[in-house]
Amino acid sequence: MKEKILVVGNGMAGIRFLESFLKIEPERFEITVIGKERYPAYNRMMLSSILQGETPLEDVVIYDMEWYVSQGICFFANETVVSILPASNQVKTDRGRKIPYDHLVIASGSSPYVLPVKGADLNGVMAFRTLQDYEELLSRAGRSRKATVIGAGLLGLEAAVGLVNHGFETTVVHHQPNVMNRQLDTYAAGLLQEELEAQGIRFLLNKRTKELRGNRRVEAIRFADGHSMETDLVLMSVGIRPNVDFARRSGLEIRKGIVVNDAMQTNLPNVYAIGECAEHRGVTYGLVGPIYEQASQLARTLSGIRGERYKGSTVSTFLKIRNIEAFSAGQVLETEETRTFKWIDPVRNIYKKIVTMNDSIIGAILYGDTTDANQISKMVLDQASVKGIPEYSMMPGESSGETTMLEVPDSTTICQCNGVTKGAITAAVHKEGLTTVDEIKLHTKASSSCGGCRGVVCDLLDACLNTEVQVTPSMCPCTSHTEQEIVEAIRGENLHDVKEVHQLFGWKDDGGCDTCRPALSYYLNGRSDEPSVSSSLLDDGTYAIVHKMGSGFATGEDLRSITSITERFNVPILRFTEQRIKMIGVQKEALPYVLEQLGAAGSSGDLSIRIHEGVEIGYKKVMQFIQLGKEFERRLGRLNLPEKVDITVSASFLIDFDTDLIVVYEGNHFEAHLTDNGESHLLFRVEEEVELIDQIGAFLQLYKLDAFYHERVQDWVSRAGLIQVREAIFDEEMFAGLQAYLDQYIENQVKQSYRTVMRSVER
C-alpha cells in the first residue's frame, strides 16, 4: 500500500511542493489536497496584473481540475481543515470529513490583516487576496465611485492602479511618510509617488485610520487627526496573518507562524509546514521566491534526498505596474555600519542604490531601470564584494547587453521564483527552437510567477537568437503567423469572415482567444466586438445609459436638454463622471426615444476630446473651444480606432499635458501636434476650423487603415514615419479618398450602432 501525503492548502506553496515532489517521486505516494477556495490552482501573484488589465484572466490559472485527475491527486475544493488529530494521523475538516495521512504538509497560507477599527465589518470594506476578491471588486465597479486603499505596500499600490483603470477615484492612505517604506528609501519612494499621482492616484500619507463610518455600507473614513473623507469602497492592504489557528489548537509550536527547522519539519512527527504560514529562523515570508525555495526543500526532504538544507531567503521584490520599474532587495536603509553608493539620472527618473557593509553588498534599489535586477539580486544573496559590480550595471540607463548575457554562467538563476537557470533557458531555446518569451515561459516556467524577470528573459533570448526579439511575434497563441501577415491577407484576399481567416491560416482554436477575437473583428468589420458602454441592462429590468458630453463641458442649454429628457421619461438617477452623464433606471420602452434624443446609440467611439481652458481665457473663447469640441464629436466621435486617442484643444502649448494630440489656437491659426513622453511633433498648421477638423479626420482615418489593432497613434507614426504621414494627408488625391472613406464609415457606423443597441433591447 502506498504511503499517504496530505497537503493542506492549494495555493502557490502547496502547488509548488507538488510540482517539485512529483518530478522526483511521481508514483510512490498517494496524494490528497484540501483547498479552502472553490478554484483549482491559480497564481495569486498575477491578480494585480489582471485587475490592472495587463493580463487576461485565463493566464492566472496554473492547473485546471483535469491536472489533479491526471496526476492521481484527490482534490477536495472549498473545504477547510479545522483540526489535526496527531494521535490517529488524521485531519478533520469543516464538513466533518476525517482524512488520514502518513505525512502532513501544511501550506495553509495567510489571511489579510484587518485593522481593528470601528466599521471594519461594513459592506464595501474588503481585501484583495483571492480570485473571489477580484470578482467582487469587478462587481462593485459600476456601483462604487470613490475607492480608498489603506496601505501603500506592493499589493496596495498595484491594486490602486487597477482601481483607477476600472474608473474609481482612488486614494491611497498610509500611516508612514513614504510609500513602500519597507522596500524603498525616501528618494525612490518620491519618484514612485510622482508617477502614480500622474496616473490619477491621490495619496494621504502619515494618516492613521480611526474609524469607518456608514449605515450598513461604508460611506466615510475618519482619521486619527480628526479629518474625514467620503468613500464607498475601502480596500485594506495592511499586511497578512498566517492561517495557524487550527495548528495552534493541535499542539504545533506557534510564534509568528508554525515553527519549522531547515528541513521544514514542525515539532510534531511527520508534520511539515511551508509558505506564508511557516516561520523559519524567526522569519515569516510573504513573497513567492522564498515560498518556492521552501517547497523545493520539502520535496527533497520527503524524497529522502540529502544535501544542503534551507537557510532562509534574501527578500527581493518587483513592483508590477505598467511602465514603472521598481526593484528592491535586502537591506535598503542606511545605518551607521553601512556604506551607500548612489547613481541618479533626474531627467529620466532613474535611480540606483547599493548598500554595503564591510564592502559586501547587503541591499539594493533599482528604480526606472531594472535590467540588471537579477544579477544584483544574486550579489545581494551572496553578499558579494561591491568591487564585483560591473560599471555598466549602475550607470543610469545602461544595461548588460547581448555579450554580457552570454557570458553569464549557466548556473546563474534567472527566474528566482521558479529557480530557472540561464543554462535551462538557453538549452530550451536551442533544443525546442523557441523564439518568444511566452514559449520560454511555457517550456521552463521562467517569468511565469511574478513576471519580474521577463525583461531579463527577453534579453537572454535576444542574445541567443542574435536578433531583435519581439515578445509576441505571432498575432496570438492561436496562430504562428504575424499580425502583419494576417492583415495583408485580409486586405489582399478581400476576406470578410473570421472563418475564412481561421481556415487560411490554420487557426489552432476555432473559438479564438481574447487577443485575436476583437482584433479580427476590427480588421474585418472596422470595429471590435467589445461591448458597447452606451446602454446596459440592470438587474431590475431597467437600463443605464452613458452619454458622453462633447469636450467634457456642458452649457446651460445642454443641461436643460438633459433635464427635459429625465423629466419626460422619468429617469430617477443621474450620475456625473468625467465627460459623461450616466442615466440609471431608464425603462425599456423609453430606451429608443432617450437614445434618439441623446444621439448616443451604440459605441461612442475611441476618440476623446478635451478642452483646456487655462486661467486667463475669457468665457467667449471657452465657448468657442466648446463648440469646436462638439464639432469634433459630431464629425469624428463615432470613429473606431486601433487604440483610444485623446485630443486636447488649448490656447497654449502644454507639452507635459496627458494627451495624444494637442490642438493649439495661436490667435490666427491652429496647430496640431503629436505628443509623447514630453516630446512634440508638428503635424500641420491651418487657419480655419473646418480645415482643422478635415485634416484631423484624414489623419485619424489613415491611422485607422494602416495601424495594427491596439497600436498607439504615436507608435504608428514612429513606424510609418512622420514625414510620410504628413505627405499622405496633404496629398490632394489621398486626402479626398480618406475623407470619402471616413464619411461613408461614419454614416454606416451610426446606423449599425443604433441597430445593435435596439437588437440588445429586443432580446
Tell whether the model's pLDDT for residue 617 goes beyond 60. Answer: no
Query: Which of 380, 399, 418 finishes a domain?
Result: 399
Check residue 531 and give its pLDDT: 38
Strands 103-106 and 3-8: parallel
Query: Between residues 596 and 281, which one has the greater pLDDT?
Result: 281
Q: What is the model's pTM? A: 0.59
Rounded to whole angstroms, the Cα distance separating 648 from 643 reads 16
Give the residue-averaged pLDDT of 589-603. Answer: 62
Least confident of 171-175, 582-586, 622-626, 715-719: 622-626
189 and 219, same domain (yes or no): yes
Could you give the angle at the alpha carbon of 416 between the alpha carbons of 415 and 418, nearest 5°? 70
CATH of the domain at 442: 1.10.10.1100
C-alpha cell at 123: 459592506
Give yes or no for residue 19 having a pLDDT over 80: yes
Supply the DSSP string of 369-391, one letter for each residue: --TTHHHHHHHHHHT-BGGGS-H
Query: For the chain, what percent of residues have pLDDT higher than 70?
Result: 82
Phi, psi of 292 (to 5 degrees): -65, -35
In a domain, 55, yes or no: yes
Q: What percent of the chain is predicted at pLDDT more than 90?
A: 37
The pLDDT confidence band at residue 519, using thresholds 50, 70 and 90, is confident
689: closest CA among 725, 620, 652, 635? Answer: 635
44 and 182 in a common domain: no
Q: What is the pLDDT of residue 693?
A: 87
pLDDT at 487 over 80: yes
Q: Assess whether 273 and 195 both reside in one domain.
A: no
- 614 and 740 within one domain: yes
Please give the pLDDT value at position 472: 45
Reported confidence tier of residue 618, pLDDT bands at 50, 70, 90: low
Q: What is the pLDDT of residue 469?
A: 41
Residue 590: predicted pLDDT: 78
Check whether 738 has a pLDDT greater than 70: yes
**Is 379 a residue whose pLDDT tops 80?**
yes
> Which of 696, 687, 686, 549 is closest to 626 using CA atoms?
549
Whether residue 139 sits in one domain with residue 99: no
Supply the CATH number for residue 26's domain: 3.50.50.60
The verdict on 435 and 494 lying in the same domain is no
Q: Read off the pLDDT of residues 680-701 as tens digits, 9 standing for 90 and up.
A: 788 888 888 888 888 888 898 8
CA angle 696, 699, 705 (to 5 degrees): 140
Whether residue 319 lies inside any domain: the answer is: no
- Of 9 and 753, more confident: 9
pLDDT 10s digits, 348-357: 899 999 999 9
E strand or H helix that includes residue 629: helix 619-636
Kindly state whether residues 270 and 405 are assigned to the same domain: no
Does residue 157 register a pLDDT over 80?
yes
Amino acid 55: pLDDT? 77
pLDDT average, residue stretch 155-179: 95
**Shared-domain flag, residues 626 and 756:** yes
Task: Write out the residue range of the structural domain in which residue 734 sits.
Answer: 605-763
Q: What is the model's pLDDT at position 79?
A: 97
pLDDT of residue 417: 65
Q: Is residue 497 part of a domain?
A: yes
Q: 352 near 369, Cβ under 8 Å?
A: yes
Q: What DSSP string runs through 687-751?
A: SSHHHHHHHHHHHHHHHHHHSPTT--HHHHHHHH-HHHHHHHHHSHHHHHHHHHHHHHHHHHHHH
Whole-number pLDDT of residue 427: 80
120 lies in some domain:
no
pLDDT of residue 6: 98
3-state secondary structure of 23: helix
Give residue 26's pLDDT: 83
Tens of pLDDT, residue by residue over 458-470, are 888 888 876 444 4
pLDDT at 359 > cutoff 80: yes
What was the pLDDT predicted at 756? Answer: 46
Domains: count for the chain: 6
Residue whose C-alpha cell reads 472596422 in the numeric block: 526
Q: Are 417 and 289 in contact (CB under 8 A)?
A: yes
pLDDT tens digits, residue range 282-341? Answer: 999 998 889 999 999 999 899 887 667 899 988 888 888 888 999 999 999 899 899 999
Domain-terminating residue out of 204, 222, 238: 238
Choose between 530 and 48: higher pLDDT.
48
Q: Is residue 580 part of a domain?
A: no
> Helix axis angle, 722-730 relative to 713-720, nearest 10°?
90
DSSP 609: E
- Predicted confidence at residue 234, as pLDDT, reads 97
**pLDDT at residue 226, as a whole number:** 95
Q: What is the pLDDT of residue 640?
A: 80
The band of 530, judged by pLDDT with boundaries at 50, 70 and 90, is: very low
CA 533 to CA 718: how far, in whole Å? 31
65 and 175 housed in the same domain: no
In a domain, 625, yes or no: yes
Indicate whether 664 belongs to any domain.
yes
Of 370, 399, 428, at which residue does a domain stop? 399
> Rounded mean pLDDT of the chain?
83
Is residue 538's pLDDT more than 90? no
The pLDDT value recorded for residue 737 is 79
State yes or no: pLDDT of 532 exceeds 70: no
Has residue 381 been placed in a domain? yes
Closest to 339 in 3D by CA, of 319, 354, 321? 354
Residue 58 Cα distances to 43, 44, 61, 306, 747, angstroms:
10, 13, 6, 38, 37
Supply 241's cell numbers: 496573518
User: Given this model, what pLDDT does residue 364 score?
Assistant: 95
Same-domain pairing of 14 and 43: yes
With cut-offs at 50, 70 and 90, classify the pLDDT of residue 748: low
Indicate if 340 and 386 belong to the same structural domain. yes
Residues 70 and 200 placed together within one structural domain of the fold: no
